[in-house]
Amino acid sequence: MSLVAATISIWLIIPILLLSGWRLLDWIWLRPKKLEKLLRRQGFAGNSYRILHGDLKDIAAMREQAISKPMNFSNHIAPRVIPAVYHTIQNYGKNSFMWLAHNQECTGMDPEQLKLCFS
């Protein structure tokens, strides 16, 4: 391969790598942070976005803790069945969100706010 051909191939590969890197950065960091900012502006509360895993580690830990204890005989099963959602509502209120990797999950009791959240 000649020096000219190598130079041309490098100049063709560099823009492709830069574009791919920008798309990855946008998908992993910029888009979720923008979404978090918009949700907070609309009155939702929740944990800040954490890159790649979001709240998944916390959700798994809460699930393990919930199933490790015996369940009381009552109709109050939310802490056992959906401990992460229950914990989020207890800490942040009825209009809250949590992160499943780089996607958000909204929990809300106002139908108008939910329409905004999922649009």
The single residue listed with the structure tokens 């809250």 is 96
Q: What is the SS3 assignment for 98?
A: strand
Query: Domain range for residue 7?
Result: 3-117
DSSP 29: I
Query: Which stretches of 5-69 are assigned E, i.e. beta strand?
Result: 45-46
Count structural domains, the chain: 1
* Tens of pLDDT, residue by residue, the chain (119 residues): 677 778 888 888 999 999 999 999 999 999 999 999 998 998 899 999 998 888 999 999 999 998 898 887 888 888 888 999 999 999 999 889 999 988 888 887 777 766 666 66
